[in-house]
Structure 1
Amino acid sequence: MPSAVPFQIVVVGGGIAGLCAAIALRGPGRQVTILEQSRLLSEIGATISLQPNASRILAKEWKLGAQLDKADGMVDEGFRIFNVEGKMVNSVPLLSKTEYGGDRMMYHRQDLHKALQAAALDPDRSGPPAIVRTASRVASCDCATGSVTLESGEEIYGDVIVGADGIHSVLRDAVVGEHINTIPTGLSAYRMVLPNSVLEQKCPTFCEHIKPREPATSMMMAHSCRLIMGPARQGDIFSIVGLVPDEKMNEDANQKQSWVSRGDLDKMLDTYRDFPEWMRDVFKQADDLGLWQLRDTDPLSAWTKGRVILIGDAAHAMLPTQGQGASQAVEDAEALGAFFADVDTVPSVERVQQSLKEIVECRYERASLIQKYSRDGAKPATEKGSTEVKMSPADFMDYNCTYPGAKTWFARQTAKA
């Protein structure tokens, strides 16, 4: 029988990683508390992909069908590469293989976030709904005692503390024992989301070439710049990410970059001057042009200490070139649920530490390899130099997407050892 005193789980961060952790860890005899630093539990306005390894977990393991239906996701059926004349030079179908068990899904981040939030708070799911505390910025963490101190001075204790507080994680410094600087990767990115109705009205030549309502991801490259584009919300909106070398940006590399930094349209038009005019005309339709500097981290020396474990970008921040950032956070959360599945009373500190250790053993090598491959994928094709990643892109797609879940993966890795 569950203990009268619940197993207390504190999740620091109310983004996609934190909400996934809350969903995975809910259960009888447990209370999950999410601490979100902002005053609103909300996500930024952009699109996001979930790869088959993650979409399978959401739909089949966590049974989020009802919530995901409201998120209005699109199945991404292919990857298309265009030259600057607008001619498609390569096409890679992305319809799911049977062994993947899921599709590559495209969402508006806000829609996916709302769906995950609804699941974390759903009273009809197993265990008490998560408690969400907004305006709760964590200032420090004592890993041994399992306590976090808010900027207000309030201390909050948990039997397990999940650090899902992103690339600028406070908990990461506490776990590793030093401040970890994020690494500029040599790229910055523009981001814009436009209604397809606007594109059809004002940019008909673009629509003839790219067909923005079709369920596919498109890329156009010239020299050191590239555009990655695709629809969401059943083709109602179209997202564009423009990757450019850092020296093309008016950014301070020592400052934290946010999703809402404002880009300079004139500078973007000049940077993409080798692209066709019908492509550049699209940039002029954006009401809000965002930019940020792409950073990641090297693999950390530790993901866990005492009662604390890091997940998502706090543990393994990676570039978007593989589309695996959010998907790896989903895998992290699934591992938390799997390795604590049989705990229905307050666990001892020894049990907590053993489970956290096994989660890291299960997740570290895989996430670190995908992190390296994502960094390598951002380099120009002409760049010389060796890489630690030995698989081809097709092999890596299989490696990414045939993930069977944490327990099975851990058993395989243990057997190999």
Structure 2
Amino acid sequence: MKTIKNMAIIGAGVAGLALAIFARKQGIHVTLFERSKCLSSIGAGVTLWPNATFVMKQLGLIDEVIHSGGQPCFMHQFNRQGRQTNTFDIGALNAMCEHPTVNILRRDLIKILGDALEMMGATILFNHTIKAEDITQLKQQFDLVVGSDGRMHSAARASLYKDTMQPQYQGFINIIGLYQMNQSLCDHTIHEYRENGERFGIVPVTKQHGYWAAAWHCEMDDSRTLTSWFDEMHQRFRHWPSKIQKVLNNYDPNSLKRLFVHDLEPLPYWHNGNLIIIGDAAHAPLPTSGQGASQALEDAWHLSQLLNHNQSLDAVLKKFYSTRIDKTTQAQLIGRQVAQQIFHSTSSAPPTLPSLSTDQIRKLYMQGLSERATS
């Protein structure tokens, strides 16, 4: 779209950085507003499924991602006694999608995106907290204002909905962190341990290091200290299999984060005038969907493609919503279904991996993605 010459992006996370790179490739001047003093490394790691690595290829950064990450071959699921209950062949999915799956630390992904953007001349204003009341001025200053400012405190979403659309707590806590040890723990295999409303996931990046998450059903209580939550985690999982004990004995204490997990209801619209929200600000799914980063990257690619169309801005932003809403809603619903099964099911049977065939997952992940659209 030739009328977009100056773009403001609120939030320099995965979605914001990726969109900024695509926009700079199109010659659009980009200004990012980031509340932190530098690019944030909050979060442990992400799995970039084939739909995400498709986008990284379009960004020209797939080689850097593969070099910095690890490529899992399988996902194995176990009960708390360590008996394997299910498996998923990630390699077969990759072959069908013709794109890899990559596990990567979030700090490394952000650095790859940030370094690429720095070379392209975008302006990043750090220590700039944008509030809902600031949005009107930004809309006057810029041709397009994009809110990619996260699930919990999105000023852009608050501006669109006057604070009526708030994230909803889904009844479980996640404690995440990084591990490093001098031995192979889960070489090329994601390990998921689930039973009785508790879950522990181990995601290798290399043979010696990776990231993990411990989760269980609980009431949200901000009055408790972080130390008390970490102590509870150790108590809950102290009798679980040896791989979990190795992680709990070898994690980096400085990497620990406690998250009361929220998501969003599907929203009826994402834009008003020249303001639009993308990524977690628009459609935050639960981590049990496995698609948070992947859908954020897809947003950046789809929006950049539509900005090339010779249509009015309103038509473009409506088209973006209609293109994305079904797929992002599916990710949200899958995340809730899996979380319900893990954390709220009354069945004594261990929860299983989603009962979709590999081909069904391929169709879901690669829906709407075609390199022909980039030409």
Change over 3 Å in CA distance of 1:332–1:303 after alignment to 2: same
Residue 89 (structure 1) aligns with: 85
Q: Deviations over 1:33-90 (max 9, x none)?
A: 111011112322511111101111211x2222454355x1111111001233333332
Report how many residues are paired: 360
Mapped to 2, the partners of 1:181 and 1:166 lie a distance apart of 12
Is the helix fraction higher in 1 or 2? 2
- 1:80–1:90 CA contact under 8 A, matched in 2: yes
Say if 2:43 and 2:257, in contact at 8 Å, map to a contact too.
no
Using structure 2 for the length normalisation, give the TM-score: 0.86
Instruction: Kindly state the Cα deviation for residue 273 of structure 1 after the two structures are TM-superposed.
Output: 4.8
**Greater alpha carbon shift after TM alignment, 77-86 vs 361-370:** 77-86
Cα displacement (A) at 1:221: 1.9
TM-fit CA distance, 1:377? 0.9
1:272 alignment partner, one of 237, 243, 255: 237
Give runs of aligned pairs for residues 372-411 of structure 1, distance below 5 A: 372-380=333-341, 383=345, 392-394=355-357, 397-405=361-369
Deviation digits for residues 111-169 of structure 1 (CA, Å, limit 9, x no counterpart) = 1101111222224xxxxx211111111023576x6726xxxxxxx72101110000120
Q: Secondary structure at the match of 1:138?
A: coil
Q: Tell me which residue corresponds to 1:166.
A: 150
Aligned to 2:112: 115
Q: Unpaired runs of 5+ in structure 1? A: 124-128, 149-155, 201-210, 254-259, 344-349, 386-390, 410-417
Q: Which residue of 1 aligns with 2:207?
A: 235
Q: Distance in 1 between matches of 2:370 and 2:282?
A: 17
Aligned letter for 1:341? N
CA deviations on 1:331-359 (whole Å, 9 max, x unpaired) are: 1001111001257xxxxxx8211111110
Q: Aligned partner of 2:196: which letter? A: H
Query: 2:346 and 2:251 mapped to 1: Cα distance?
Result: 36
Kindly state the Cα deviation for residue 401 of structure 1 after the two structures are TM-superposed: 2.0
- Other-structure match for 2:351: none
1:35 equivalent in alignment to 2:2:
no
Larger radius of gyration: 1
* In 1, Cα distance between equivalents of 2:192 and 2:62: 30
2:130 corresponds to 1:138: yes
User: What are the within-5 Å matches in structure 2 for residues 7-406 of structure 1?
Assistant: 7-44=5-42, 46-59=44-57, 61-68=58-65, 72-95=68-91, 96-123=93-120, 129-140=121-132, 147=138, 157-167=141-151, 168-197=153-182, 200=183, 212-232=185-205, 234-247=206-219, 250-251=221-222, 264-276=229-241, 279-280=244-245, 282-288=247-253, 289-342=256-309, 351-380=312-341, 383=345, 392-394=355-357, 397-405=361-369
Residue in 2 that maps onto 1:208: none
The secondary structure found in structure 2 opposite 1:378 is: helix
Q: What amino acid sits opposite 2:192 in the alignment?
A: M
Alpha-carbon separation, structure 2, partners of 1:47 and 1:230: 8
Describe the SS at the equivalent of 1:355.
helix
Deviation string for 1:256-298 (max 9, x for gaps)? xxxx965633311222255246634642433423311111011
The C-alpha deviation readout for 1:319-339, integer Å capped at 9, x for no partner, is 111210000001100111100
Q: Which runs of 4+ in 1 moved over 6 A?
A: 406-409
Pick closer, same or farther for the CA change 1:338–1:27 going to 2, 3 Å: same
Q: Normalising by structure 1, what TM-score?
A: 0.78
Q: Cα gap change, 1:261/1:327 in structure 2, threshold over 3 Å: closer, same or farther? A: farther
Name the SS of the counterpart of 1:401 in structure 2.
Answer: helix
- The residue matched to 1:81 in structure 2 has which SS? strand
Whichever residue aligns with residue 115 of structure 1, its letter is I
**Residues of 2 paired with 1:327 and 1:252: CA distance?**
33
CA distance in 2, matches of 1:368, 1:87: 33
Q: Tell me the SS of whatever aligns to 2:25.
A: coil
Structure 1's 278 and 324: CA in aligned 2 closer, same or farther, altered over 3 A? closer
The DSSP-based 3-state class of the residue aligned with 1:147 is: helix
Q: 1:218 to 1:281 in 2, by over 3 A?
A: closer
Contact 2:192–2:201 (8 Å) recurs in 1: yes
Unaligned runs of 5+ in 2: 348-353
* CA separation of 1:262 and 1:105: change in aligned 2, threshold 3 A: farther
State the Cα RMSD in Å.
2.9
Report the CA distance shift for 1:16/1:263 in structure 2 as closer, same or farther (over 3 A): farther
Between the aligned partners of 1:407 and 1:146, the Cα distance in structure 2 is 37
Following superposition, the deviation at residue 21 of structure 1 comes to 1.1
Distance 2:282 2:56 in 1: 21
Per-residue CA deviation, residues 192-216 of structure 1 (Å, 9 max, x unaligned), is: 211122xx4xxxxxxxxxx525111
Identity of aligned residues (%): 26
